[in-house]
Structure 1
Amino acid sequence: MIEVKNFTKQYGDNTVVKDISFVAKDGAITGFIGHNGAGKSTTIKAITGVIKPTKGTILINGIDIAKDAKKAKMQFGYVSDSPDHFLRLTGLEYLNFMADIYDAPVEGRAAFIEDYAKRFGIYDSLGNTILSYSHGMRQKLMIMGALIHSPSVWILDEPLTGLDPQSAFELKQMMREHVEKGNSVFFSTHVLEVAEKLCDEICIIKHGELLYHGTLDDLKATHKSQASLENIFLELTETKDSEVTV
């Protein structure tokens, strides 16, 4: 579970995120949507401990990341929006490196790597350097590295970008399987159709302010009965079609 309480981030006189609060519950996939510059990346960086809040508290499974960063970070797996890391390592070296960082049991690694690598279709490429991988292959490897220690909380920043249709389907299945075990998934996306089909709850952010947090059904209840998430999003953010990536 992720609890964000009255989070504010300022850089000088510029307030990037203003006093937002929400909970990414256990047993639920929570989507985080908003335009570029809305404050999504800043919020995710604060949740993962990359930056410190100006104000507010962020708890991961009840652990304050500002007070016990190491313990809090052991609770989650984080996939950033860029997969271009450790390019000179082989895929297998990278996965074992990540497992070592998180003290993942050695005896369970091989089974995890084989299972996920085969589901993602990169098993035969694990002996090659990451530099030789396509963008999509790197994305798959980063996802595996984030999940190799079996964290209960998944934090995914645009995780479907660059994935082929089969791998995107597999990841969405994995996300659903994860929350069905009572865990939580928090992910950002520009693809509103995916958010509508996949998410149990959504958070909509605009100019650093949280416009909505709750279920899609509750959101639709306040709008036209047949309105799609895309239409509601455009209405809430008062944005032209050409400014939204879907």
Structure 2
Amino acid sequence: MDSTLPPSPPAATEPALRLTGLVKRFGEKVAVDGIDLTVPAGSFYGLVGPNGAGKTTTLSMATGLLRPDGGSAVLHGVDVWTDPVTAKAMIGNLADGVRLFDRLTGEQLITYTGMMFGLPREEITARTADLLALMDLREAAGTPVVDYSAGMTKKVSLACALVHAPRILVLDEPFESVDPVSAANIEDVLRGYAGSGGTVIVSSHSMDLVQRMCDHVAVIAAGRVLAAGTVDEVRGGQTLQDRFVELVGGRHHSEGPQWLRLS
């Protein structure tokens, strides 16, 4: 009898992010109501929902910017709130509404961010030059960020999120106010990043963008997950836009009031 043991099955791949029972209240309002979500490592994951659905609040708790009232957020096996230093070192975060050190120039801001993550100065210099070129910000490298347009500010914020080559990118509306050429360049970089094993989580109102770029998606409304899975699973043969409207509701079939009709 052959006593050779069969090979052990490969260990299950640890998810990039696991949210369990996540809750956040602001006074009497429950912004996030017990969200459970698993983001596979190496995925391009879309988070969609109407305004006020709890997307930004969820991402803020997942990345250590906002302490939850209940539940947990675990990044690659590291609890965000019991070991925040280790967890945050793995994250590249483009958060909505977070103030930048905008008296620094674009080049200084990216350099400073790299220094905070402990990168060697020579490496920071090279990466900063690469990111300024990628974001089409070379001509504005010496301009204070306070003088940037909304689109330029978004791009330099994304450069800061990328400078330390994180394991997971969490991007809240990354293409908002960004011109089409820069958006196409950024899409290429994000696809390459995810293709090499990085994980991208993107919150967006653009169903077309999510359907085009993401392989997984979660629909959130009223602080709860209504559907989650691969894009094909969630949309179920419909467009993602139609499936979203079906799940969330609130669609009004109306031509508007009579006074808006010009003929």
TM-score normalised by L of structure 1: 0.92
Pick from 51, 66, 78 the counterpart of residue 51 of structure 1: 66
Q: Do the aligned partners of residues 74 and 32 (structure 1) sit closer, same or farther apart at CA in structure 2, a change above 3 Å counting?
A: same
Determine whether 1:161 maps to 2:172.
no
Determine whether 1:237 maps to 2:239.
no
2:18 matched residue in structure 1? 3
Pick from 199, 202, 205 the counterpart of residue 187 of structure 1: 202
Pick from 79, 83, 100 the counterpart of residue 64 of structure 1: 79
Equivalent positions of 1:130-209 (< 5 A) are: 130-209=145-224
Measure how far apart 1:9 and its partner are.
Answer: 1.5
2:257 matched residue in structure 1? none
Is 1:84–1:138's contact at 8 Å kept on the other side of the alignment?
A: no
Distance 1:28 1:49 in 2: 21
Cα RMSD, aligned residues only: 1.5
Could you tell me which amino acid in structure 2 is paired with residue 229 of structure 1? L
Distance 1:14 1:131 in 2: 34
Could you list the per-position Cα deviations for residues 196-230 of structure 1 after superposition, in whole angstroms to 9, with x for gaps in the alignment?
10001001001011001101111233xxx3x2100
Distance 1:38 1:209 in 2: 8
2:230 matched residue in structure 1? 215
Determine whether 1:33 maps to 2:44.
no
Determine whether 1:73 maps to 2:84.
no
Determine whether 1:16 maps to 2:25.
no
5+ residue gaps, structure 1: none
Measure how far apart 1:170 and its partner are.
Answer: 1.3
Measure how far apart 1:241 and its partner are.
Answer: 6.1
1:112 matched residue in structure 2? 127
Distance 1:41 1:219 in 2: 21
Aligned partner of residue 45 in structure 1, secondary structure: helix
Of 80-89 and 4-13, the range deviating more from structure 2: 80-89
Aligned partner of residue 78 in structure 1, secondary structure: strand
- What is the total number of aligned residue pairs between the two structures? 238
5+ residue gaps, structure 2: 1-15, 254-263
Q: Identity of paired residues, percent?
A: 29
TM-score normalised by L of structure 2: 0.86
Could you tell me which amino acid in structure 2 is paired with residue 25 of structure 1? P
Distance 2:230 2:99 in 1: 34
Distance 2:190 2:101 in 1: 25
Distance 1:45 1:119 in 2: 26
Measure how far apart 1:232 and its partner are.
Answer: 0.5
2:115 matched residue in structure 1? 100
Aligned partner of residue 18 in structure 1, secondary structure: strand
Q: Please list every run of at least 4 consecutive aligned residues from structure 1 whose deviation after the TM superposition is greater than 4 angstroms.
A: none
Of 205-214 and 18-27, the range deviating more from structure 2: 18-27
Measure how far apart 1:83 and its partner are.
Answer: 7.0
Measure how far apart 1:128 and its partner are.
Answer: 1.3
Distance 1:27 1:178 in 2: 9
Distance 1:34 1:41 in 2: 10
Is 2:115–2:124's contact at 8 Å kept on the other side of the alignment?
A: no
Could you tell me which amino acid in structure 2 is paired with residue 182 of structure 1? G
